[in-house]
Structures are given as C-alpha cells and as structure tokens.
Structure 1
Amino acid sequence: MAHIDYYFSTISPYAYLAGDRFEEIAAKHGAQISYKPLDIMALFARTGGTPPKDRHPSRQEYRAQDLLRQAKALGMDFNLSPAHWPTNQAPSAYAVIAAQNAGGGDVGAFVRALMRACWAEEKDIAQDDVIKGCLEATGFDPSLADSGLLTGAETYARNLEEAVGAGAFGSPFYVTQDDARFWGQDRLEYLDRHLADTL
C-alpha cells in the first residue's frame, strides 16, 4: 500500500485551500496518510523561510492576491484576514495527533474542519470549545481535546524534526514513500500523477 506523510500547519491558508482533494487522491490510489501537524513558524526558521509578516511588501501583496484568486477559483469561502490568525497552533495540532491515535472518526475531515473554522468561520482554533466542536462534527469523542497532551507535545516536536529531515519546508507538504516531494495544494495534480505512475 502506498503511503504519504502529510506535513502541515493547522493555520496554513494553503493547506485549507487543498480542501478534500488530497484525501480523494489518496483514496483513489489506496494510499495511507500519516497526518503530521507541525509548527510552521519553527519550520520556516529551520529551513530558510520567512514568516508572512516579515516578507517584503511585494511578496505580501502577491500572497494576498494569490490566496484570494485561488479561493475564488476553487469556490471556497475564504477570509484573507481572519479574526484569529495567527493563533497558537499547538492545541489544534495536539488534537489532530490524539484523533489519529484514537481512531473512530475521519481525521482528514477533522483537519479540514479546523482549517475552515479559522479561514472561513472566524473561530479561534486554539480554543477548547472550537476544537471539541470540530472533533464531534467529524466523528470523534470531544474529550480527545483534553487527552494525550504529553504525547501530543512530543509528537508535535518530532513532526518538525521529521519534516526537516524529509526535506519539507512549507505547508502543505506531501512526501511519498519513495521520497517524491510535493509542496503546495497547487501541486496535488502532480502527486496524483506520480501515484498513478504517469509522471
């Protein structure tokens, strides 16, 4: 069975704009997904990236235009300046880790619910009630938000190290078991073709 390591930040607008296309591609090819949420700002610092607020104005302006353009093209609700961004990524990431470990629900749907809460619903995904609502809506026990915090913290830190080791430097970042790397939701077509062995 094919396997994909999915490195992402729960506050990444580009990961949000992937929607459910990544999961659809993985299902199409029978690929298993390992969800690996990480601290995107720490990843930038480790791999030569620059946080959005510190980028040259030209880059910031282009990012703003391109995010709105992509959201419109995809038909997705999107707020370029959400009320609760940036926010503490750790609580939502720990919940993703706990949900993946516990099973019983749809991890991909949970991740998408968190991102939609941030980028389309003006919710703070660092807040316990928001995380629990997303857990419950995607088939998980809401109490997972309060469990496995030590494991979550350890895994969250390890995901960052694994991402750096795997050559990841942004979000979303997809790494296949044969070390093919794809950065950005706009490269999902290439991931699809790679898994089909047509690229």
Structure 2
Amino acid sequence: MADIDYFFATLSPWSYLAGTRLEQIAARHGVTVAYKPIDLLSVFARTGGVPPKDRHPSRNEYRAQELLRQSAKLKMPFNLKPQYWPPNIAPSSYAIISAANSGTGDVGPLVHAFLRACWAEEKDIADPDVIRSVLADCGFDPDLADKGMLTAAETYAANTEEAVSRGVFGAPFYIVNADDQRFWGQDRLDDLDAYLGAKRK
C-alpha cells in the first residue's frame, strides 16, 4: 500500500494547479504515492457536489477569479476557458492507469502533462493522438493508450467507488493512509507537507 492515495480528475483545474508539488513533498519525506484518477462528476453527484455548469453564477464568478489568482500566484500558464473543455476524461484516465500498471516510468509527471495539455496547451485530452503524444513525451510506450483498456476501465470505476467510500468529494484529494488524514485542494499541499514533517519528528 502506498503512503498517500491521490484522487484526481484530468479535467480538474485545481488538480492542474497542484503542479508537481505532491511529488516534491513525497520525495522530501520519503513517502510513496498511488495515483487514482476518478470520475469526478460521479463523485459530485454522490457526495452533494454540483458541476460548474449547474452552479449559481456567483459561485462560477468567484471560481473564475480564484483560478486566475492562483495560477498567477503559482506562475503557471492557464486558460480559463480551454477550447476542449469539458473533455471525456475516461481515455486519459485509462492511459494513466495503464502507465502505472506498466511500471516503466514516473506517473506523477504524466498526470501533470495531461492536465497541462488541457488547461495550458489547448489540446483535446480525449484525442487518441494527444494521448499517445503525452505518453511518449513522458517516457512511456505510446501503445499503452490502446493496451489493458478493460483492466483500466475496471480500475477507474473501482477508484471512483473507493473515493466515495473514503470521504472524497472533490479533486485534488490526498489521503494519508497511515491514519486517514485527508487534504482537499491544491491549496492544502503545504498543510500535507507540514503534517508529514511533524509525523517524522
């Protein structure tokens, strides 16, 4: 079992804004991460969340302001209205699962690459050619885009069920497995870092 279970969705702007800080934190504290893409809209529906298209305008206006503030603060390129959004996230999620199962590369940068493709590079992360390109750029066999789809689909569904059963209601969401400590949002990564540091003392 990994030390941290990371639940995310490849259409989530907040998951994008997490960047690769989780990987830096994990390296600093010597902990492992399990990457668990989820069907975020299903999680919303089952845990009281509301997708952006159905939210009150005041909530979406604040969301837009905060996304732009956070991206500027983090110095990350960001397009508030990507050309290909919302994408079908199943294909990119399956590719991430297949890559993780292959044991042939670093999954963290791959996750971020898919998110960056959506939110900063105007790419359709449901497009097979984009998926293959992202895999190759991150050092994975691009043919993983077409391999193990049944297993990946089953894992994706299982991740979503697990997320709901363990109290996940949004993305990004981090759970420290040793004591079920939960951290929601890219703006809680500093708290996760501090928590892991305190546990080591």
CA distance in 2, matches of 1:9, 1:70: 18
Alignment partner of 1:133 is 2:130: no
Q: Determine the structure 1 residue equivalent to 2:191.
A: 190
Q: Determine the structure 2 residue equivalent to 1:115.
A: 115
TM-score by length of 1: 0.98
C-alpha change, 1:190 and 1:26, in structure 2 (3 Å) is same
> How large is the RMSD of aligned CA atoms in angstroms?
1.3
Q: 2:6 is paired with a residue of what secondary structure?
A: strand
Q: Determine the structure 2 residue equivalent to 1:158.
A: 158
CA distance in 2, matches of 1:6, 1:166: 12
CA distance in 2, matches of 1:103, 1:12: 25
Report matched runs for 1:55-74 at 5 Å.
Answer: 55-74=55-74
Q: Determine the structure 1 residue equivalent to 2:20.
A: 20
**Structure 2: 5+ residue stretches without partners:** none
**Structure 1: 5+ residue stretches without partners:** none
The residue type paired with residue 180 of structure 2 is D
C-alpha change, 1:27 and 1:48, in structure 2 (3 Å) is same
CA shift, 1:105, in A, is 1.4
CA distance in 2, matches of 1:28, 1:133: 30
Q: Determine the structure 1 residue equivalent to 2:9.
A: 9
* Stretches (4+) displaced over 4 A: none
Question: Identity rate of aligned residues, in percent?
Answer: 63
CA distance in 1, matches of 2:155, 2:128: 20
Q: Determine the structure 2 residue equivalent to 1:45.
A: 45
The alignment of Structure 1 onto Structure 2 pairs a total of residues equal to 199
TM-score by length of 2: 0.97
Q: Determine the structure 2 residue equivalent to 1:93.
A: 93
1:118-158 deviation line (CA, Å, top 9, x unaligned)? 00000000011111111111110000000010001100000
The residue type paired with residue 180 of structure 1 is Q
1:45-89 deviation line (CA, Å, top 9, x unaligned)? 010000001001100000000000000000000000000010101
Q: 1:116 is paired with a residue of what secondary structure?
A: helix
CA distance in 2, matches of 1:2, 1:131: 26
CA distance in 1, matches of 2:198, 2:45: 34
CA shift, 1:2, in A, is 6.6
CA distance in 1, matches of 2:56, 2:75: 29
